[in-house]
Structure formats: C-alpha cells, structure tokens
Amino acid sequence: MYGNRKLPKSTAIFNMNSAKDCPSLKLGMCDVGSKCYALKAERLYPQVLPYRERQEAYWDSVNAEEFAGAFLIEVERKRERVTHLRFSEAGDFKSQADVDKMNEIAFYLGYQSITVYGYTARRDLDFSKAKHMTVLASGFTGTDGLFLGVKGAKHYHLEARKLGIRAFICPADCKVCTLCPKAKGKGTIIYAEMH
C-alpha cells in the first residue's frame, strides 16, 4: 500500500502483522489499546484484516535480502518515486528477529535513498543495533525518540522545551511533515494530541 489519508503516496506501508494480532497489545505494552486506529480499520473495512494477514504471511516467508529485492522491483514500477517505507502501521515487532530483519532491509534500501521508519511499544526488545532505520517508541526510551499520544499535547510540548528537550507537536498530516522519519538518533519527542 502507498500512502493513506495522512501519508503521501511516496511512502510505502508494510505491516508485519495485523492490529488484531499485535504483539504489544497481547503483552500489555500498548498504551492505546481499544482506541487503536489500526484496530478500528480492521473492524470497519472487511478487506483490511485479510490484507494485513497476507502481509504477515509474506513477511514470515522471506529473508531481508529477498524482501528488499522484491520491494525495489515493486517500487520501480511506480510513477511517483517512493522515498520512505513505513513499517507497522498496524501491529508491532513480534521478536528481536523482526527488529534485526527490518534493520537489514533498511540497510539495503538505504542504497536507493529510501528511509525506513516506524513506531513500537516493544520496550522488551533491543534497538541499540538498529542503526539503519528510525524507530520511535511509544512510552519508553531506548530508540531514536518518543512518539507520545497525550491529551494536552501543546502543554507537554512547551514544558519539554523549557527543559531543553527537542520536542515537537505532531501536525497529524504526514504529507506536510517529516519529523518522524528524520528523528534518527536525535532523542526527539513528538507529542500527538489524543482525541
């Protein structure tokens, strides 16, 4: 899939699993829970869950080099240049092997100037060697930065800035913003207003 209501068509989206089978949710690490927009989409649109399950089956059947090669062949056919790969719009990493595999994919795609980024709630996994992709954490440190959904995002943003923290407010439109993909290694906090 390329783009959605918030993401530009130059961003490819790939899910390692569905929101229904999200490892973070099952492990009690997800702060969003039933408010998850990915879970809502799987309930509202009958084609979404089977699509994500097919993506998971594909993910489990290939190694990093095969994935990157097939991805590059696919995006070569696109009229609009693909500049980003957003992983896990739904779901999360199932294991450390998934982290390592996505990082290796990011290494290969980096040669084509494709930025790989995504979000995780898996505080139990090691992201210290994930040098080729940008990973924003939800509610814990240990990745490139934090992406926090909170009520009163402007207040938290201002308080963080007073402390000298590199903090921003999510404009809720990735078509006009590149904060998340560019947060690599910068200790950024991005506050998103929870509805």
DSSP string, 14-43: E-SS-STT-HHHHTT--SSGGG-HHHHHHH
In this prediction the pTM is 0.89
Q: Which domain holds residue 26?
A: 11-193
pLDDT, residue 194, reads 78
Q: Look at residue 119 and give its three-state secondary structure.
A: strand
Task: Give the DSSP per-residue string, 126-159.
Answer: --TT--SSEEEESS--SSSEEEEEETTHHHHHHH
Q: Look at residue 175 and give its three-state secondary structure.
A: coil
Show the CA angle centred on residue 57, arms to residues 62 and 78, nearest 5°. Answer: 70
pLDDT, residue 5, reads 61
Instruction: Write out the H or E segment, with its range, that includes residue 84.
Output: strand 84-87
- Whether residue 86 lies inside any domain: the answer is yes
Show the CA angle centred on residue 170, arms to residues 188 and 55, nearest 5°. Answer: 90
pLDDT exceeds 80 at position 61: yes
- Whether residue 121 lies inside any domain: the answer is yes
pLDDT band at residue 1, thresholds of 50, 70 and 90? low
Gap between the Cα atoms of 32 and 172, Å rounded: 16
- Whether residue 172 lies inside any domain: the answer is yes
- Whether residue 5 lies inside any domain: the answer is no
pLDDT exceeds 80 at position 75: yes
Q: Look at residue 81 and give its three-state secondary structure.
A: coil
Lowest mean pLDDT among 7-16, 107-116, 136-145: 136-145
Total of domains in the chain: 1
Q: What are phi and psi of 64, to 5 degrees?
A: -60, -45
In this structure, are residues 141 and 134 in contact, taking their beta carbons and an 8 Å threshold? no
pLDDT exceeds 90 at position 166: no
- Whether residue 38 lies inside any domain: the answer is yes
- Burial of 89 per CB tally in 10 Å (0-12, 13-18, 19+): buried
Q: To the nearest whole number, what is the mean pLDDT of the chain?
A: 90
- Whether residue 99 lies inside any domain: the answer is yes
What mean pLDDT comes out for the span 128-134? Answer: 94
What mean pLDDT comes out for the span 70-99? Answer: 94
- Whether residue 4 lies inside any domain: the answer is no
Residues in a beta bridge with 136: 119, 145
- Whether residue 149 lies inside any domain: the answer is yes
What mean pLDDT comes out for the span 20-31? Answer: 91
